[in-house]
């Protein structure tokens, strides 16, 4: 079994926050792949289903962001999972909005949810980093991540979440490359190789040749008279 964890804060007031993009990813995967209804479990909400040939548990910790590790550890202990079986989906300030990157192991970069998970299970788990952009100054970060996505972000956010759901079976099978390709097809779909036919250029119509001007008659009157009787 694999464990996919989406990070966020519980409750309706946080549901559309940038910080909750991990929860949104779990909801999209569950919806698109016909997972069982969500149930209160492991100090959060969980649902089981299949992604390709893999059995997968989706988890949304209900412990608030800075205690996410408690919920993750509880699920791992119940199913006897190793950190390598876990993939965490979280918001990433250091990626532009709509960007997605997969990473195995490493630091938490100050993310409170990852920091908590590090403290409970170590750092050897996988991550799917979901770009939300940066407000520009570190003092503005808290308000930024706890603010709802603006309406202007709706299109790229929907594309990103659908791409994640499309690629989730590949990720469950350990193929990060195919997962990223599936996301890219949604976020930046390939353009058709066929280009619209250009309107044919108008043929230039040649201008009619101007009639040659008659040469001036230089005959004297006697020659003109003689020519009339030839």
Q: Which residues contact 37 (CB under 8 A, 6 or more apart)?
A: 47
Q: Give the pLDDT confidence score for residue 224 in this predicted structure.
A: 63
Q: Which pair of structure tokens corresponds to residue 159?
A: 């594309």
Q: Is residue 229 part of a domain?
A: no
Q: Between vectors from CA 174 to CA 170 and to CA 177, what angle results, nearest 5°?
A: 65
Which residue is listed with tokens 């040939």? 53
List, as one string, the DSSP characters of 115-159. HHHHHHH-S-SEEEEEE----SSGGGHHHHHTSBPPGGGHHHHHH
Q: Is residue 218 part of a domain?
A: no
Q: Is residue 55 part of a domain?
A: yes
Distance between CA atoms of residues 109 and 146, nearest Å? 18
Q: What is the domain-level CATH number for residue 159?
A: 3.40.50.1470
Mean pLDDT of the chain: 89
Identify the weakest region by mean pLDDT among 93-97, 146-150, 221-225: 221-225
Q: Is residue 30 part of a domain?
A: yes
How many structural domains comprise the chain? 1
Q: Is residue 68 part of a domain?
A: yes
Per-residue pLDDT band for 128 (boundaries 50, 70, 90) equals very high
- Of the candidates 15, 122, 127, which has an alpha carbon nearest to the alpha carbon of residue 62? 15
What's the pTM?
0.82
* pLDDT tens column, 179-227: 999 999 999 876 655 544 444 444 445 555 555 566 666 666 666 666 6
Q: Is residue 223 part of a domain?
A: no
Q: Is residue 217 part of a domain?
A: no
Q: Is residue 215 part of a domain?
A: no
Catalytic residue numbers? Answer: 19
For the CA atoms of 172, 177, 181, 184, the dihedral, rounded to the nearest 10 degrees, stands at 100
Domain that holds residue 94: 2-187
* pLDDT tens column, 12-47: 999 999 999 999 999 999 999 999 999 999 999 999
């Amino acid at each position: 079994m694999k464990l996919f964890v989406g990070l966020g804060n519980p409750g309706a007031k946080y549901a559309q926050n940038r910080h909750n993009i991990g929860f949104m990813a779990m909801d999209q995967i569950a919806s698109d792949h016909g997972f069982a209804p969500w149930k209160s479990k492991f100090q959060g909400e969980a649902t089981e289903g299949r992604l390709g040939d893999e059995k997968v548990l989706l988890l949304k910790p209900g412990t608030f962001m800075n205690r996410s590790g408690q919920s993750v550890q509880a699920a791992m202990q119940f199913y006897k999972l190793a950190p390598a079986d876990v993939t965490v989906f979280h918001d990433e300030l250091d990626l532009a909005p709509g960007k997605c990157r997969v990473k195995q192991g490493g630091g938490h970069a100050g993310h409170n949810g990852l920091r908590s998970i590090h403290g409970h299970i170590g750092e050897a788990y996988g991550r799917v980093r979901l770009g939300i952009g940066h407000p520009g100054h570190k003092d503005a970060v808290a308000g930024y991540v706890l603010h709802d996505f603006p309406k202007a972000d709706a299109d790229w956010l929907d594309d990103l979440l659908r791409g994640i759901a499309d690629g989730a079976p590949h990720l469950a099978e350990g193929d990060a490359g195919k997962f990223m390709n599936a996301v890219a097809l949604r976020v930046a779909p390939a353009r058709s190789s066929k280009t619209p036919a250009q309107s044919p250029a108008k043929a230039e119509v040649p201008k009619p040749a101007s009639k040659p001007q008659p040469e001036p008659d230089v005959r004297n009157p006697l020659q003109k008279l003689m020519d009339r009787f030839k």
